[in-house]
Structure 1
């Protein structure tokens, strides 16, 4: 390692200690001198010491680093114990922070810089947000904690071991993708619960719908529709959220197509834009009417409806299988049928494939590619209207399907028709 690199890495190790020491020193700024075990200077020196230890480990082996860390940890813990006895305040946070600063200083010199700096910033944020984190934990209820643990188990324990391959003879149903859809529905439902508690029912539902539309407007539709069960007074607000998520989906499709093939923009901008404007106007009208007419408050008792999410994911799997069987029975007569069948569940795959095929010289012209994308969007819009009515009931289905999505589809067709007739 060159001398300049050694100096720069040691400087990073020192900076890590200074960053953490600044937060620790500020927190204990009111204590008298010589009454605290570690402050700004101690943490800065700890980071530098870790950097020097990492440099020595490169020269003499990792065993030396282990001995140096053990000695540092014992000394640091001893002084923390003496401070705890003096203040009658038992906390291991500063001791753990000191050890981590030493190790990150060693990593900055002997290993990767970016992970070391990222870990130091994350640690400083956790230390600085102590009061906020404690207050947040105190506000949690057991159902909320159970919901977080369940969602974490579904995402990080079960998802990696579920087979990521199709299991049916037609190559359609993938258990990994179905479970991921269940996680999306459950996660969006939980996000809605948190948003309603944090921002109130109107702002919370709108924030959830907009964020969910970036991930999956279909999953967001299912999550919002199932919230309506037992809460008839919330139909307009939840329907507005479904329309907002669909609006975000339209914008997302346009941006993806534009990024992959700018030649599609003239053919997609007007139909997608007209439909998006209608959806936005309908959503704003519904929100305005919920403000004008006071009704029952939206109450979400279950933060994470896992059973509902799994049943809805199973339904979507059945829809995917039925769509594939319909395509095989009708025959592969072109990209438009494929786009229509695929659009029942998802529009992103159609958008990406059509944009790439029309831009890569694969023989697919821009007009056909744009029409295929619009067909997928139209079928997806119609399927969400059906799903909203099936899951959320007749009122939600009527508002979403009649007032919002079908009106948006009509606006898009009204713009698309003269474009198609013109060539």
Structure 2
């Protein structure tokens, strides 16, 4: 009997090789590349991968698959040696050779009915092959500082987090200090800043100050405010643009907090929608007003350095721990009124630490949604006043007049919301 399932697997392996081979054929137009294989070779290697596994099943041995892989490798090595002998001053790339070996492996996956995995592998391989220029441009933009920051982020994520005890410590009634949870929040907030920086590197700095404000708000609106305030003193003619970037980061900060909260506690999506998303309207509206008002529409380069630093990440963890402990102590010994006061004071220093502390208490069901909302509103009110004060007292003189409407508008909306929930 004819087993159509066998032909289906072989055709899938052949198709994967054919598609990858077509992409490689298309890249022949780049004269600087040299390809040891084209669409026919890729198709045959993909089919060979599936057939070798088929023979493995028939013989009960992995020898056919391993032999096939070795043969393909030897043929590729011979091709590179021949190229080196005939082109002594040139170097052949190995991208196509590595792709050919991967196609052989994907063909083997097809035989085991791992068609989804094989197709995903094919798509990822196509993306890598088609993104040569973008990936090389991105690598060229990276500095030594960026590489070190990446290593640090990997250290705090992979080499510290798994070894921290996932157990709560503290005095009786205040067992809220969980090293694993605390460091997880540090990794989480650091990761947001790191990813936003990678996006800026990929998109390019030429998008101007508004893009810095947009993605900087994802990392830290306070850090972004300080960054632009410092730059504004040497570039007073761009006061409108700097103020616009700062206010835009404030709007993003509210949206970011909402996203973090509902990611950690999905049930809060409804209760937190109004208190955290309504303040976005005045800040975003004023940022758009400044964008259209500004006369300097030319694209500007933004020297946005890597936001990830190990020491600030550790400081954030300490601030988060202190705020969480004090907030819980205030709730236990002084009542929820003191919790709101502590949130106001903490928000002036670090909004994220307050938000994470409150969400942690909400997940443990130690505070009701009303107290959570009011505490967040008071913290955001203090945070807006603090950042507005930084701009007013430390920024360029033209920014003082420009920042007042934003602070007044956001604080007025926040105060109205506080009155509503009280």
Name the TM-score, length of structure 2 as normaliser: 0.72
1:403 & 1:312 partners in 2: Cα distance? Answer: 30
2:117 & 2:140 partners in 1: Cα distance? Answer: 31
The 1:250/1:187 distance shift into structure 2, 3 A limit, reads closer
CA contact (8 A) 1:256 1:351 kept: no
CA contact (8 A) 2:205 2:301 kept: no
The 1:15/1:201 distance shift into structure 2, 3 A limit, reads same
Where has structure 1 moved over 6 Å in runs of 4 or more?
A: 253-259, 332-343, 389-393, 396-402
Gaps of 5+ in 2: 234-238, 347-351
CA contact (8 A) 2:320 2:354 kept: no
Task: Compute the displacement of 1:320 (Å).
Answer: 1.8
1:383 & 1:195 partners in 2: Cα distance? Answer: 34
Q: Which residue of structure 2 aligns with residue 180 of structure 1?
A: 187
Instruction: Kindly report which structure 2 residues correspond to 1:201-350, keeping only aligned pairs within 5 A, or say none.
Output: 201-209=208-216, 212=218, 220-228=220-228, 230-233=230-233, 236-249=243-256, 252=259, 260=267, 264=270, 274-287=278-291, 299-300=303-304, 304-331=308-335, 344-346=354-356, 349=359
1:271 & 1:303 partners in 2: Cα distance? Answer: 28
Pick which of 279-288 and 318-327 moved more.
279-288
Q: Which residue of structure 2 aligns with residue 361 of structure 1?
A: none
CA contact (8 A) 2:374 2:421 kept: no
1:348 & 1:181 partners in 2: Cα distance? Answer: 16
Structure 1 position 147 matched with structure 2 position 157: no
Aligned length: 393
Task: Compute the displacement of 1:205 (Å).
Answer: 1.5
1:351 & 1:321 partners in 2: Cα distance? Answer: 10
The 1:392/1:180 distance shift into structure 2, 3 A limit, reads farther
CA contact (8 A) 1:188 1:223 kept: no
CA contact (8 A) 1:53 1:65 kept: yes
Task: Compute the displacement of 1:41 (Å).
Answer: 0.5
Gaps of 5+ in 1: 213-218, 358-363
Task: Compute the displacement of 1:257 (Å).
Answer: 12
Structure 1 position 27 matched with structure 2 position 34: no
The 1:166/1:242 distance shift into structure 2, 3 A limit, reads farther
Counterpart pick for 1:120 among 116, 119, 122: 122
Q: Which residue of structure 2 aligns with residue 216 of structure 1?
A: none
Indicate the SS of the match to 1:344.
Answer: helix
CA contact (8 A) 1:224 1:242 kept: yes
CA contact (8 A) 1:201 1:298 kept: yes
1:399 & 1:377 partners in 2: Cα distance? Answer: 28
Q: Which residue of structure 1 aligns with residue 236 of structure 2?
A: none
CA contact (8 A) 2:194 2:307 kept: no
Instruction: Kindly report which structure 2 residues correspond to 1:319-398, keeping only aligned pairs within 5 A, or say none.
Output: 319-331=323-335, 344-346=354-356, 349=359, 369=369, 371-372=370-371, 374-385=373-384, 388=387, 394-395=393-394
The 1:250/1:113 distance shift into structure 2, 3 A limit, reads same
- Deviations 1:45-95 (CA, angstroms, capped at 9, x unpaired): 101110111223334233432223222322333234334434554222222
Pick which of 61-70 and 341-350 moved more.
341-350
RMSD: 4.7
